[in-house]
Amino acid sequence: MTTSTDPHAWLEDVEGDTALDWVRGHNERAVSALETERFTEMREEILEVLDSTEKIPGVVQRGEHLYNFWTDAEHERGLWRRTTWESYRTDDPEWEVLLDVDALAREEGVGWVWHGAHVLRPSLDRALVALSRGGADADVTREFDLVTKTFVEDGFTREESKGALQWADSSGDVVYAYTDVGEGSMTSSGYPRTVRRWVRGTALAEAPEVFAGEHTDMSIGAAHDFTPGFERDFVWRARAFYDSDLYLLEDGELTRVDVPRSAEPAIHREWLTVELREDWEVGGRTLPGGGLVAIRLADFRAGSRDFEVLHAPTPTTALIGGTWTRHHLVLNVLDDVTNRLEVLTPPAGDGPWERRPLDLATSATGWHAPRLATVSAGAIDPDESDALWLTVSGFLTPTTLARLDLDESGAVVGLEPLKALPAFFDTEGLHVEQHFATSDDGTRVPYFQVSPVPAADNEDVRPLPTLLSGYGGFEIPRLPAYSGAIGRAWLARGGAYVVANIRGGGEYGPRWHQAALKEKRHRAYEDFAAVARDLFARGVTDVAHLGAQGGSNGGLLMGNMITGYPELFGAIVCQVPLLDMKRYSHLLAGASWMAEYGDPDDPEQWEFIRTFSAYHRFDPADEHPPVLFTTSTRDDRVHPGHARKMMALMAGAGKDVTYYENIEGGHGGAATNAQAAFMSALAYEFLWQRLGD
């Protein structure tokens, strides 16, 4: 189908009166069918979790203050606030409120959603605050005075657009602006194509252009490095995901960091690190794809390519993150989707980097991470200290936050528990397991299962109502995490929850992602189906009791379960999905994903894209499981037309389909906790009606 032959093309008119009338009609029918007593209970239970005053207030340190953004029942759009270390260590910190977003929304009559702030260093007296109308990716920026706690009259202001303002030096009188400044300033993906250096008191339209990319690029941006003694400026150009250039900007001249375009270079103090996605032939040797290498920036710029390999992948491991402290680089490595942390210390002079495991179990702290949980570390103040935020979270383990201190050798010298989530649901009788399914081509695919103990041996509870979740795209791994919402609405009511680590994700690094790109996309769907079959083979559940849920790229996954593997599922929840892969690159940010899926306007590529375009694969003669589609009118990333059109197509064929579209929400589907609780409860009620009753 093309727009001229597609009978449902009119539903792509996002805010058209006719399309919104159609949306409201389906919303009413969905609410009528799903707003039961159980729905109300689940919505209230989930909202209690989201609004809980016992949540961990996540913070970032700027100077002597710890900054936090907070939402609860009283402040549904949130408070931007700050406190001190001394106060944060108490059970009830005292917070200085900087900006009340609810009050601002009422005053201005706009449903503002917080998008973050960039605090000026080293003065810490100003910030560039980003706010979104209704949760869309497009936002505005306003300059904020952290002393008077008011917006700066005649300060830097950016009108609504995708993009940002970033401080360009410590004076506070110059910013980098990458945003919509008129015709030709945005890419075909709807992101900024140009960067300007904007001086206070001048017009943005007159600000000199620092760099301009191509119309077909994904996005362009710039930033200033405020590290004392290492102040410098960067420009980046992203042609697509995992295809980019990094430039040093010096005296108005741009110098490209000469590494492969698929790599991710990063500069910290005197060091250049490069995360590789493909093997790199350089300096007379082959550096491994999936690895991390390092060299002094001065040596690299002088022509040396004598990199040291800091991480080399194995068949079961992948590097998923790294964070610099003052003296160390802490790496986060997955081994069969289980975390381990390593501390690397660069040499002061010549010589190799030192390496040691960050083994908390044998440290003086006596602490150890639970099995099958996610452990992550982030630097607190990389300019000044070797302290880390340490976060631990598991499916049945409430998230905890601690401060971890290293000495200059990289040894642990202290671990201070700071905050912990309460247990939002009863885990007695529940168990976390990891299993491996075998995909069609023989690939071993891991998955996590949370279920009554032990599911395979308990005849009284089988087959279990089971919810299978997956994503499988953009090198994003799915890791264990605590969710009070899933716990209360699904696990505590007797369901099993399964997370599939399918190809396309990042669980085994770039190779796992690249194994499901473009013409190999089918492998992600084969993997997901293999996990479903393994659950049947192990006696955990059966077709009538197995549901699947996914959003965004995971919504595309769900579309292909609906059309390619309908015999495996008793119900499917498809959220903010991509479904019409012929049109996706022409809708909102779709053009930015062609490196992942291919170009449907190229006839040769369309031949393989059509094999995973659910909108085109749908056959009304086939049997299909019941489906719930959800999306958001304000999603300016994945066009709501995907879900609308698929709903119209399936409803027209007489299928069991339900549809709900949140008028606010952005790509996350909800702009407030109340909206998020409502949308989640809709999905769980739909699943319980189809799988549990």
The per-residue pLDDT for 88 is 98
The per-residue pLDDT for 635 is 85
| Cβ–Cβ < 8 Å for 319, 294 | no
585 part of a folded domain: yes
Same domain, residue pair 398 and 533: no
Can you give 411-430 as a three-state secondary structure string?
CEEEEEEEEECCCCCCCCCE
* Backbone CA torsion sign across 169, 175, 179, 185: negative
List Cβ neighbours of 85 (8 Å cut-off, separation of 6 or more).
64, 66
Give the residue from 370, 403, 422 where a domain finishes.
422
What are the tokens at 647? 């709903």
Rounded Cα distance between 270 and 281, Å, is: 24
The per-residue pLDDT for 520 is 98
Task: Read off the pLDDT of each residue in 342-356 and give the average, rounded to a whole number.
Answer: 94
Q: Is 561 a residue whose pLDDT tops 90? A: yes
Task: Read off the pLDDT of each residue in 305-322 and give the average, rounded to a whole number.
Answer: 97
The per-residue pLDDT for 533 is 98
Same domain, residue pair 517 and 602: yes
What is the domain range of residue 226?
Answer: 110-256
Same domain, residue pair 38 and 157: no
Cβ atoms within 10 Å of 570's Cβ, excluding its own: 20
In 3D space, the residue among 620, 684, 262, 302 whose CA is nearest the CA of residue 491 turns out to be 684
Confidence of residue 461 (pLDDT cuts 50, 70, 90): low
Same domain, residue pair 518 and 624: yes
Give the residue from 396, 422, 448 where a domain finishes.
422
CATH of the domain at 238: 2.130.10.120
350 part of a folded domain: yes
List Cβ neighbours of 202 (8 Å cut-off, separation of 6 or more).
none
List Cβ neighbours of 147 (8 Å cut-off, separation of 6 or more).
125
* DSSP secondary structure code for residue 623 in this structure: -
* DSSP secondary structure code for residue 647 in this structure: H
Same domain, residue pair 440 and 396: no
Give the least confident one: 171-180, 359-368, 675-684. Answer: 359-368
Confidence of residue 328 (pLDDT cuts 50, 70, 90): very high
103 part of a folded domain: no
Same domain, residue pair 515 and 392: no
Q: Is 448 a residue whose pLDDT tops 90? A: yes
Q: Is 458 a residue whose pLDDT tops 60? A: no
68 part of a folded domain: no
The per-residue pLDDT for 664 is 66
Q: Is 229 a residue whose pLDDT tops 90? A: yes
Task: Read off the pLDDT of each residue in 625-652 and give the average, rounded to a whole number.
Answer: 95
402 part of a folded domain: yes
58 part of a folded domain: no
Task: Read off the pLDDT of each residue in 580-599 and give the average, rounded to a whole number.
Answer: 95
Tell me which amino acid residue 676 is. Answer: A
Cα-flanking dihedrals φ and ψ of residue 194, to 5°? Answer: -130, 155
The fraction of the chain above a pLDDT of 70, given in percent, is 96
Cβ atoms within 10 Å of 180's Cβ, excluding its own: 19
Same domain, residue pair 671 and 555: yes
Rounded Cα distance between 669 and 677, Å, is: 11
Rounded Cα distance between 288 and 309, Å, is: 9
Same domain, residue pair 170 and 231: yes
The pLDDT tens digits of the residues spanning 370-383 come to 789 999 999 999 99
Confidence of residue 364 (pLDDT cuts 50, 70, 90): low
Same domain, residue pair 469 and 571: yes
The pLDDT tens digits of the residues spanning 84-98 come to 999 999 999 999 999
The per-residue pLDDT for 142 is 98
Confidence of residue 453 (pLDDT cuts 50, 70, 90): confident
387 part of a folded domain: yes
CATH of the domain at 552: 3.40.50.1820
292 part of a folded domain: no
Residues, the chain: 693
The per-residue pLDDT for 693 is 63
Same domain, residue pair 557 and 661: yes
Which are the catalytic amino acids? 552, 667
DSSP lists the bridge partners of residue 282 as 285
The per-residue pLDDT for 636 is 85
The number of folded domains in the chain is 3
Give the residue from 422, 445, 478 where a domain finishes.
422
Same domain, residue pair 428 and 416: no
Same domain, residue pair 248 and 361: no
The pLDDT tens digits of the residues spanning 676-687 come to 999 999 999 999
The per-residue pLDDT for 672 is 86
The pLDDT tens digits of the residues spanning 488-497 come to 999 999 999 9
Cβ atoms within 10 Å of 249's Cβ, excluding its own: 21
The fraction of the chain above a pLDDT of 90, given in percent, is 92
Give me the chain's average pLDDT, please: 95
Tell me which amino acid residue 619 is. Answer: D
